[in-house]
Amino acid sequence: MQKFKNKTIWITGASSGIGEACAYRFAKDGANLILTALEKDILEKVQEKCISSGANCFVLDYDLSDLDGIPELCKKAVDKFGKIDVLFNNAGISQRGLVAETKFEVDKKIMTINYFAPVLITKHVLKSMLENGGGTIAVTTSIAGRFGFPLRSSYSASKHALYGYFESLHAEYHKENIRVCFICPGRVKTNISFYALKQDGNQHSQMDKGQAKGISAEKAAKKIYNAVYKQKTEILVGSSELLMVYLKRFFPKLSRKIVRNIKAT
182 beta partners: 139, 234
Among the listed residues 155, 163, 165, 173, the single catalytic one is: 155
Q: Is 165 a catalytic residue?
A: no
Q: What is the end-to-end Cα distance of the chain in Å, rounded? A: 41
Dist CA 43 CA 46 (whole Å): 5
Give helix 17-27 / helix 217-229 axis angle, nearest 10°: 60
Q: Classify residue 147 as left (phi > 0), alpha (psi -120 to 50) or beta.
A: beta
Dist CA 118 CA 163 (whole Å): 12
Beta strand 178-185 pairing with 95-96? unpaired
Dist CA 184 CA 236 (whole Å): 5
- Note whether 89 and 140 are within 8 A (CB): yes
Q: What is residue 69's DSSP assignment?
A: G
Quick one: which of 170, 187, 145 has its CA closest to 232?
170
Catalytic residue set: 155
